[in-house]
Amino acid sequence: MIIRFLPALFVVTACSLVPASKSGREHYFLTQVKPVLEQHCDACHNGALPPPALNLTSKATAFTRSPSGRDYILPDDPDCSLLISAVQRGGTHPKMMPRTEVSLTEDQIGMLRDWIEDGAYWPAGESGTLRPQKSRENP
């Protein structure tokens, strides 16, 4: 009976784009997640009084709750993470992000969803510190 489920298990495992090892997760954060957050989010969401109190400069400040008590980034649950709600631009709510003409691509949003769903690994120290970058136009 277990053999019948092995192909399905392989498909589920093979679909995950986020590496399983700590070094793989760190590399994924540094090469995929960090550049998107720096280019599209951190220009506004940094410093002492970022809007609306979300500071993406470091893990300690990014993994906080909104004034209403919802998590900005809730590891393992992208659907309950305000970050995903904001970047999906699913409506006309004024808090849809980023507040520029340039939206995140479907691939970038999917990558952020995968990252959060996989536990939202964010390294400590200098490698986990974000610095605002100029937003680039989508191709």
In a domain, 118, yes or no: yes
Q: Which two tokens stand for residue 95?
A: 């808090």
Over the chain (139 residues), the average pLDDT of each successive run of 10 is: 46 52 91 92 78 83 88 94 82 55 83 96 93 60
- Full residue range of the structural domain in which residue 55 is found: 22-128
In a domain, 136, yes or no: no
In a domain, 137, yes or no: no
8 Å CB contact between 88 and 131: no
| Structural domain count of the chain | 1
Question: For position 63, what pLDDT does the model report?
Answer: 93
In a domain, 133, yes or no: no
In a domain, 38, yes or no: yes
In a domain, 15, yes or no: no
Question: For position 10, what pLDDT does the model report?
Answer: 39
8 Å CB contact between 98 and 135: yes
Question: For position 89, what pLDDT does the model report?
Answer: 65
